[in-house]
Amino acid sequence: MQNNNLTVYYQCNMTKKDHITVYVLASFLAAAVVYLFYHLIIISVVLGLFLGYFLEKIYAQSTITKRQKKLLLEFRDFLENMSVAANAGDVEYKAILSARNALKQVYDDDADIIIEINNIINQYENGGRKLTDLFMDFANRSQLEDVKSFATIFSVIEGKSNNFGAIINQTYNIIGDKIEITEEIETAITSSKSETYTMLCMPIIIVIFMSALGSGFMDSLFTTTVGHIVATVALALFAASFVIAVKAINIKV
């Protein structure tokens, strides 16, 4: 029998309470930023609630990406242990069992990869399902290209190849190298991400600093029509810069 309670990793697993909490905090932050440019409470609240919706969506997507990255690293460890077992002479199901047992020495029982491999083992033993179908189901729910690649390769060699160990080892080397390169790239751009976020904060810091000078230095920006137009343009440019910067630093390999 198929387990319908398994995680779909390309969907957000935040609770309704989490979504509301993030939305409220994001709206408050957005309203505070808008207020710096307009000094009008009503406009700040309205725009804050509007922008908070999009900020909450961005945060929710980031939780999906973070969990998928974590799952991918765990899957790499599974492949490594499966490769070791296959090289030692274990084939297919026995190699999966050996890899699962090795992973349990590193990960807790509630780790995603442990849950997934346990499900594959249980469905194979008690549900009469093929290993190929189970790995394909895992791949579809993860929406990770490397997991899909492995599932496709496994479907070709299951019960049909005498070179199971060599093929699994080669598959691990290719996928492992790709993941390692991705990690190296992300490490290399970490400093760039920090610099980007710092630059995004600079306009806000400048407005706060200029407002703190007092003596009506910023009154024309907050009280005149021309000032509101300038503030709107500045805020639009700031929002556009934020979107472009976030997309630019999220590199996919």
- Encode pLDDT of 134-162 as tens digits: 999 999 999 999 999 999 999 998 877 67
Specify whether the CB–CB gap between 75 and 26 falls below 8 A.
no
Q: What is the pTM of this model?
A: 0.82
Render pLDDT for 196-228 as a digit per residue (tens, 0 to 9).
778 778 877 877 777 777 656 566 667 778 877
Question: Per-domain residue ranges for the chain?
Answer: 71-187, 190-253
